[in-house]
Chain A
Amino acid sequence: SQQGEEDPQALSIQEGENATMNCSYKTSINNLQWYRQNSGRGLVHLILIRSNEREKHSGRLRVTLDTSKKSSSLLITASRAADTASYFCATDTGDSNYQLIWGAGTKLIIKP
């Protein structure tokens, strides 16, 4: 079953602006991961944040995690046309199945 829920479902912004996507989940987690999917392609791992971390950076990406609210946000700064993609969050509950639970994704469109 899907645990993560991203919002918004779709986001369209101008190139150069910042894009923020949110992910909420239901159960306790071991870590939360963000992935990007270009149209019709496989997903690519972007960043992993552990449950004891509150913020993590990778290049133009900034991820925050609030375990008390069971939510995470992905911020992409100074967006580029190449950032146009769908973004998914996935939670690792730390159970014995080592299974990732996926959200439905946010479709991000960067307008030139």
Chain B
Amino acid sequence: DSGVTQTPKHLITATGQRVTLRCSPRSGDLSVYWYQQSLDQGLQFLIQYYNGEERAKGNILERFSAQQFPDLHSELNLSSLELGDSALYFCASSAGHWGTEAFFGQGTRLTVV
């Protein structure tokens, strides 16, 4: 158990809909990262938060947004969903200091039909 909790584990929704994925980082970790992994693909970095502030943006679509709350949990909002958004979405957390490892949640499998 990595200590990172993602909910829900599975999500099936229709095109055009909006969903929210939730992540609770490991206790004490200040950095939260969101990643997208399509079938048999590598990890695509979406966005990073550190202690409530956005720190870095990757290949995140304008239809996607995220935030980190004062209690450090984070939410990833995906709107106007398309079939191509079907993927595994991972959240990871780290202490936020150099030289620390990232701990991954088990992911949310999103299927857009």
| Interchain CB contact under 8 A, B92 and A88 | no
| Interchain CB contact under 8 A, B98 and A98 | yes
Stretch from A13-21, A35-43, A56-64, A69-77 forming part of the interface with B: A35-43
Interface residues of A in 89-112 (CB under 8 A from B): 90, 92, 94, 97-105, 107
Counting contact residues on chain A (CB < 8 A from B), the size range is 20 to 34
* Inter-chain contacts of B102 with A (CB < 8 A): 33, 35, 43, 45, 90, 100
| Interchain CB contact under 8 A, A102 and B98 | no
Q: Does A1 contact B (CB under 8 A)?
A: yes
Stretch from B11-19, B50-58, B60-68, B78-86 forming part of the interface with A: B50-58
Q: Does B25 contact A (CB under 8 A)?
A: no
| Interchain CB contact under 8 A, B42 and A105 | yes
| Interchain CB contact under 8 A, B90 and A42 | yes
Q: Does B48 contact A (CB under 8 A)?
A: yes
| Interchain CB contact under 8 A, A94 and B98 | yes
Q: Does A81 contact B (CB under 8 A)?
A: no
* Inter-chain contacts of A90 with B (CB < 8 A): 102
Q: Give chain A nearest CB distance to B66 CB in angstroms.
A: 15
Q: How far is the CA of A38 from the CA of B48 in the complex (A)?
A: 24
| Interchain CB contact under 8 A, A40 and B88 | yes
A-B pairs with the 8 shortest C-beta distances? A104-B42, A42-B104, A45-B101, A43-B104, A97-B56, A97-B55, A102-B43, A42-B106
19 A–B contacts from the bound complex (CB under 8 Å): A2-B42, A31-B98, A31-B99, A35-B102, A40-B88, A40-B109, A41-B106, A43-B104, A44-B2, A45-B101, A48-B99, A48-B101, A88-B42, A98-B50, A98-B94, A99-B33, A100-B33, A100-B102, A102-B42
